[in-house]
Each structure stands twice: as structure tokens, then as C-alpha cells.
A and B are shown apart, each in its own frame.
Chain A
Amino acid sequence: MKKILVVDDEESIRFLYKEELEEEGYLVECAQNGKEALEKLSLFKPDLISLDIKMPVMDGIEALKRIREIERRLPVILCSAYGEYKQDLTTWASDAYVVKCADLSNFKSTIRKLLGLS
């Protein structure tokens, strides 16, 4: 079973993602910010990270940088409310960029693609 770490400061989003992804058959662990995600990284050893950008304590951009220092090949999906960071050089190190949407089908298919499941 593939493990996914969902990092988001909004509890409702964490809850929705956990529910949806568990239904898809993944093992899901959540973190509230980049710092907590880094702490859980070595313990949980996820196969993929969904990383929100705007977060308190440590934002997604900083977290991505730290993660890449530890896990170079771990697939990371950056999630944001709009496409504002899409063209940003700071996000180039991610594997995918997904604009948040109530319809999660795009998100889910991106995950499957990155995990080589489709």
C-alpha cells in the first residue's frame, strides 16, 4: 500500500484529502505545516507528498527545499488555491503543480501518474 503525506494548514482540506485518498486505497498521514512534515518524513517514509504552499511556521516552498535535501526522488505535488506559483522558479523542484479544486479527479490522476499506477 502506497503512503501519502498530506501537508496543509486547513483542517477541512486535510480531512477531505485523507478521506478521498484513503478511499482510493492509499495510506494517508497528515501534517499541519512544513516543519511537521519534515518531522514525519523519516518516521512515515511516504511514497508521495502533497504540499500546500501557503502555510504558517514553514511554508511549502521552504519545505520543498528541505525535502529535496533529504529525499531527492520523492514525488512532491504542490497544491495551491490559484496558479500564482505555477511559473515561479521556486516551484520547479516539484514534480507537479495542482490548483486546488472541489473536483479532485485531476489531483487523483496526477498522484496515480507520479506513483506509476495508471
Chain B
Amino acid sequence: MSNLLNTYDLLKSIVQLSTSSMPIQVKLDQMLQSISEAFQSSQCLLLKPEKIDKEGFLSRLLSEKKPLWVEDRSSLQKENVLLEEESLLSPAFACIPLYDAMSSQGILYIGFSRPHPFSSQERDILLLIGEAIGGVIRSDCLHQKSEETLLELAALYEIEKTVTATLKLENLFESIVSSGLKILKAKGGVLRVEDRKTGELKLKWSVGGYDQHPLDEKIARKVFHTQVPLSLDSSGEEKPSFSILCAPFVSKGKVLGTLTFYDKDSDSQKFDEKDFQFLLMMVNQMSCTIENALIHHETSEMACNHEKTVKELSTLCELNKTLLTTVNFEQIIHMTLAAITIGDGLGFNRAMLFLVNEKSNTLDGTMAVGPDSAEEAGKIWSALSQRKGNLSDLITQLSPEGHSNLNAIVKGIQIPLEQEQCILSRTVLEGRPFNIRFPQSKEGWLQTRCERGCHLGSEVGCYVSEHLSRDPRVYSFATVPLWGKGRVIGVILVDNLYNQISITDEDIRFLGMFSNQAGLAIENAILYRHLEEVHQELKETQNLLIHREKMAALGELSNSIAHEIKNPLVSIGGFARRLYRTIPDDAPEKRYTQTIMVEVARLEGILTDIYHYTHDESSAFKECDLRKILEDSLSLFQERIDVEGLELVQEYSEEVPQINGDYHQLRQVFFNLINNAYQAMKGQGTLSLRLHSIAKNGAPYAQVEVEDTGGGIDPENLHNIFNPFYTTKDSSLGLGLPIIHKIITSHRGQIEVDNQPGTGVKFIVTLPSPEKEKENGLKGS
């Protein structure tokens, strides 16, 4: 440094350099260059504090913060001079520590190849330059720091922006981890969140595969439970070495989860305090967002569940409403199955109902709803999709499919309940649903193959592949029990044969809910049906009782009338006989009187019959000739038949056994039968009377047939015709056939009806011969 001009130039260069916009390193290099040139030194260096060994003398200089001026090396006391510092011990040199209030910034070194006296001006200039370099370094440091802060702020802003852009948990987790990775320049990151239901710390997002490492979960758990963030460097012996940062997400004093980052991008680097602080800042910022997102997620999940439940409930409500529209059994079960198969209802392809038959201890196929083929299914679905109206309207509009093949097959199925291999029986016996996803598996398929001829197997489950050339592995079906009041009354079987949508447990749960309702409705319908039957029976019984009471009163009346008219009848008949005896045989009065006598006799017989019926008096049995009885009975109609031109067929076999009976009673029997036939024919037709003998069990019987062409008896009334006091004729007391029945029974005979509705009716009376009677008597005694 020779003159003032040089000094001026140096300072000018230093000031210019310090305010220039060159990168710091270039700036410093040029400064050192200028110094070296100005002082004509051998070397000029800036020793950075991190490169200065703490043990050496430079370190001491730095801590003492005093410049060192060595004008001649020989005068220097070599204390603590390290080997690498030896090169700096030039023949003359100066070391000027650079520092500010906070930290030291290094040492400005200037060395000379020969001893150099430092003038006070040179010393001042070097000290001044040292301050200037310190200032440059400080301002660069500040600039760097502010740039870094800006960068961090920008990163945080970026994270904040991305995480607030979404409430979708997965996206949020992903953006947190990736932003962290970017800022921290880490190799991997793992984010875990506590499952609120189970309390487990669950992996939500991972980059770099560090979640596979056993240490990862341990660290996360520790941080989660202690709520203390962790910064860990494992180096040296353990291989590979780790650099780990882990911090908990804490919101309102509650730990939500953990965020862990692994290893810097460059292997040599480890996470520093700044990274750690950044992580803490990040988790602080994110905790609230994560909690909000979790709450949002839970709320939307809940809302989704609620919406589903509401939909289920409204469907159930709608279906129940439909079930309540009727108590008719057939309608109820059809509606139930329709509700199960309709798309807006439960949406299964096919549904089959089996009811428990307690009498036979079997499960009886009752009804099935569902298309017979895939084409039909398509047609039905497209037709249904065009229909409008609510669910209950749709269901009630569907007509019962009595003609479907499936229905016919199911109706023919009867499965013994004790057959435990059958899934249907098991559903009843165990009272729980079965969801057979893989019928081929041991649990499902094999057990539905009912060995005792369960047709269900062949048509519904077991041999689907055979019948429909489909892969049975994709076929699945489910059964649910149908609960009545505290007992299983049947089973509903459902499947998705055509669209092959698999049946979920959720479907089964809903089906179960519905079938519980349907079960009650069906049981009610059964009870109602039973009630109606009983009611009908009661009504009939009541009618019969009323009728009987009426008839009993009438019987009493007719009994007293019978008494009153008996005496006049006896005198009429008696005097007629007296007259008859006095009239000459050729006089016409002879026949008149005879008619009076005969009719009186018949009236007497009828009165006696009524008396016998009401008094249960034993009949006067004697041997009698059925042919004569028939002819006598017919003679009273002969005139009317002739006049009206009815066709009369009489077939009397020659060899008819004599029977033991009451002439009057038997005559009343055939009189009544002929009378009924005559009245039924209303003046046209054929009346046939046949008499022949038959053998039953080797014993001879006489058989009489009275047949008409009067249209027969209404099948509804057929079972009642022998009931006393039952009549369809307004004019009749309804005693005719019951008296006949009573008389024939008292004669140990039988009366049968061969009814041909629309054509006519044939009454067949079979009476035993006396031989048979004797045998019976002997056997009896």
C-alpha cells in the first residue's frame, strides 16, 4: 500500500463490490482479489467459521475478537498451531476476525511472502475492509434467511391452499405428505390417523414405503401417546441410517394422528432444527384442517347412512302400507313376493315362499314370483320402468302370476322339516338367514342338494348350471325366516338369477326387516282366514240352530195337530169303509170310497211317521216286498205322470231278496224320493225306478235306484241334504231326506247320492236281507 490513490481505489472497489448484485461468493472473491492486489500480498483468504478447527489458534483468535498482526513470522509464538494451519503461517500475515453482536462470521486473512510491516494506515484500512466484508456477509445472511422464510411461507401457503381446497380425506392426506416432502426435501413420509371407533392408529398415506419398517409404527405410537414430537438421527452402526422427524396432530388438546418424515434427499444430510421447527409448524397448521376434514367425513358418512336408513324406512313403510290394504291370504303373499322382486322395493330377481305345515311337519311351497327366463325378465323390467305411481300402487297393480312355471314348480315342493341338510329346513329350524354366495362351497351348495328329492335343488339352486348352462359359481341365493308371533312360520328364498348381482349382508338385513313385517301380515291373514272359516261355520251352525228351534216348535205344533186330526181321520176312514161295504161292486161310488180309504190310510201313515220321527219309536218291522212298496209309492203319482207325459222307466229284477222292514216307513221313503224326483223334473224328463239284488261281502242286499233328469243338486248344498230341517225349497220343511236317511239307517241300510249337476240325480238305497240281519244279530249277541 504505497500511496493514497491506491487506498482510494481499493476502498472504491470494495464499496462498489459490496453494493453490487453479484452472488456473494463472486463478490467476496473479487474483494479478496482487490485486497491482494492493493497490498501485493501472496494470498488473501476469507476463513469461514465452520472451517475453523476449534482446537486451533484461529479459533482462539475468533473467540478473542482481536486482530492479529504478524510482521515477521519469527517473532510469532507458535501456540496451538494445528498442522493444517501451518500453511497460513506466512513470513508476514494478518488475521482480522469478522463478527457482529450475534455471531462470528470468519477471519479475513492476508499473507505476505516476506516480512511486512503493517503501517497504522494499512491496519485501519484492513480493519475497515474487514467490517465491510462482515457487513456484506451479514446482509447476505439476512437476505438468505428472508428468502428461506419467504420460501417456507410460500410452501405453507401452498399447503394451506391445497388442503383447504378439498375436504376429501384421501386428497388432504396426500397433499399434506407431498408438500412436507417437498419442503423438507425428505425421501419418505407417513401419515397416520386414529380410528375413532377402534382407537387404532391407522395408516392413511405413505410415500417411500417407510410404513413397512417395524420402527415406523413404534415411533408413531410413541409420539401419538406422549404427544411429544420427535427428531431422531440414527447413524453409525445401524444400517441403513435413519433421519426421522415425527410430530403429532393435536387439535383442542386431542391427538388425531401423526406425521413422520424420513431421510433427506442427499444421503449425507440430516434433518436440522429448522426442518423440525417447520414440521411442528406444519402439524399445528394442519391439525385443525384434519379435524375438520375428519368431522366432515364422519358427518357425510352419517348423513349417507341416515339417508339410506330413511330410504329403507320409507320403502318399508310403503310396503307395510301395501300389506295393510288387505287381509286376503293370497293377496298378501303375492304382495309380499312382489315387493321383494320389484325394483323400487327390495329388487331381487325371484322370490319364493314356503310355509310351515305343522300337521305334516313339512315346508310347503306356497307361491313364487319371478320371470321364467332372462328374456321375460327384461320385458318385465322395461315394462315396469315405464309405469308411474308409487310403490304400493305398482305392487297392487301387479297381477298374481298363477301361470308361471316357477310358481308351479314351487307349489309342488314339499320338504320334510327334519331334513337338516336342506338350507330351507335349516332356515326354519335355526331361525336365521342364510346368504349362500358360493353354492358350491361346503357350507352352501352341497347342503342344498336335497337327497330326499327336494325339487328346489334342481330348479333353484343345485343344478342351475345344468339347466341354464351358467356357471354355478356366480349363482347365489339367500333365505330368510318368516317370523310370526314368536315362531318361524315359513321361509322366503330370493336370488338374482338373471342380473347376477351378488346379495350383500345389507340386502339380507333389509329383507329380514321386511319379512318380519310380512310374516306378521301373513300370519294375520292366516288367522283371519281361519277366523272367517270359523265364523262361517258358526253362522251355519247358528242358522241351523235357529232353523232347528223353529222346526222343533213346528214339530211340536205338528205333533199336536197330528193328535187332533187323528180322530177325525179315523172316523172318516172308518165310515168310508162302512160305505164301501154297502156299495155294490159295479157302482162308481165304490172306487170313490176306495180312494178315500186309501188316502186316509196314507195320511194315517204319514201321521205315524211324524209321530215316530219326533218320538223315536221303534218301527214295526216285518218281512216286506220292496217291489210292492215301490209300486204302491208310485201309484200315487201314476195319474200325474200319465197326464204330464213324463217318461217312466221301471226295471224290477225278478229275484230280489225279501227284506225286514216297516212297510209304512219304507213306503214313505220311496214316496218322498219319487216326489222329489217328480218335482225336480217340472213336467218333463225321465223317471227311472230300478230294483235289483247285489252282493256285498258275500251277503245279499236289495238295491233300489230312483233316478231323475231334473238337473241335479247344487254341489254347494250336497253335503247338507241329509241334515234335518235343511231345505232349499221355500215350501218344504226340509224333513223329507232326513226322515228318509233316518228310516234307512234304522233299517241298517244305506242311502247314496250320485249327483250329476246339470243332468240329474240318482238316489241309491241299499237294504240288507233278513239273513244278513240274523247273522249280524248272532254276531252281536
Using CB atoms, name the residue of chain A closest to B603. Answer: A102
* Distance (whole angstroms) from the CB of A72 to the closest CB of chain B: 30
Which of B221-229, B568-576, B712-720 is the contact stretch?
A: B568-576
Interface 0/1 of A77-118, CB less than 8 Å to B: 000011110000000000000001111100000000000000
Complex CA distance for A4 and B265, rounded to whole angstroms: 154
Place the interface of chain A in its size category. 10 to 19
Could you say which residues of chain A place their CB within 8 Å of the CB of B615? 82, 84
Interface 0/1 of B71-86, CB less than 8 Å to A: 0000000000000000
Could you say which residues of chain A place their CB within 8 Å of the CB of B600? 102
B379 within 8 A of A: no
Could you say which residues of chain B place their CB within 8 Å of the CB of A12? 567-568, 571
Complex CA distance for A36 and B664, rounded to whole angstroms: 37
Whether A102 and B578, one on each chain, are in contact in the complex, defined by CB atoms closer than 8 angstroms, is no
A27 within 8 A of B: no
Complex CA distance for A83 and B616, rounded to whole angstroms: 11
A70 within 8 A of B: no
A19 within 8 A of B: yes
Whether A16 and B566, one on each chain, are in contact in the complex, defined by CB atoms closer than 8 angstroms, is no
A20 within 8 A of B: yes
Could you say which residues of chain A place their CB within 8 Å of the CB of B601? 102-103
Interface 0/1 of A46-66, CB less than 8 Å to B: 000000001000000000000
Whether A102 and B567, one on each chain, are in contact in the complex, defined by CB atoms closer than 8 angstroms, is no
Could you say which residues of chain B place their CB within 8 Å of the CB of A15? 571
Q: A81-B563, A83-B617 are in contact. Are A102 and B570 (CB under 8 A)?
A: yes
Complex CA distance for A104 and B581, rounded to whole angstroms: 13
Count the B residues whose beta carbon is within 8 Å of the partner chain — how many? 24
Could you say which residues of chain A place their CB within 8 Å of the CB of B329? none
Q: A81-B566, A82-B566, A101-B604 are in contact. Are A10 and B574 (CB under 8 A)?
A: no
Complex CA distance for A29 and B611, rounded to whole angstroms: 31
* Distance (whole angstroms) from the CB of A87 to the closest CB of chain B: 9
Q: Which residues of B533-586 are within 8 A (CB) of A?
A: 562-563, 566-578
A74 within 8 A of B: no
Interface centre among A82, A100, A104 (most CB of B within 10 A): A82
Using CB atoms, name the residue of chain A closest to B611. Answer: A82
Q: Which residues of B592-651 are within 8 A (CB) of A?
A: 597, 600-601, 604, 607-608, 611, 615, 617
* Distance (whole angstroms) from the CB of B604 to the closest CB of chain A: 6
Could you say which residues of chain B place their CB within 8 Å of the CB of A102? 569-574, 576-577, 597, 600-601, 604
Q: A16-B575, A81-B563 are in contact. Are A101 and B570 (CB under 8 A)?
A: yes
Whether B577 and A103, one on each chain, are in contact in the complex, defined by CB atoms closer than 8 angstroms, is yes
* Distance (whole angstroms) from the CB of B603 to the closest CB of chain A: 9
Q: A81-B563, A82-B563, A82-B611 are in contact. Are A104 and B577 (CB under 8 A)?
A: yes
Whether B570 and A20, one on each chain, are in contact in the complex, defined by CB atoms closer than 8 angstroms, is no
* Distance (whole angstroms) from the CB of A52 to the closest CB of chain B: 9
Whether A13 and B570, one on each chain, are in contact in the complex, defined by CB atoms closer than 8 angstroms, is yes
Could you say which residues of chain B place their CB within 8 Å of the CB of A103? 573, 577, 601
Chosen A-B contacts, 22 in total, with CB atoms closer than 8 Å, are A10-B568, A10-B571, A12-B567, A15-B571, A16-B570, A16-B578, A19-B578, A81-B563, A81-B567, A82-B611, A83-B611, A83-B617, A84-B611, A100-B567, A101-B570, A102-B570, A102-B574, A102-B576, A102-B577, A102-B600, A102-B601, A104-B577
Known contacts A16-B570, A101-B570, A102-B571; 4 additional CB pairs below 8 A are A81-B566, A102-B570, A102-B574, A102-B604
B residues near A (Cβ < 8 Å) are 562-563, 566-578, 597, 600-601, 604, 607-608, 611, 615, 617
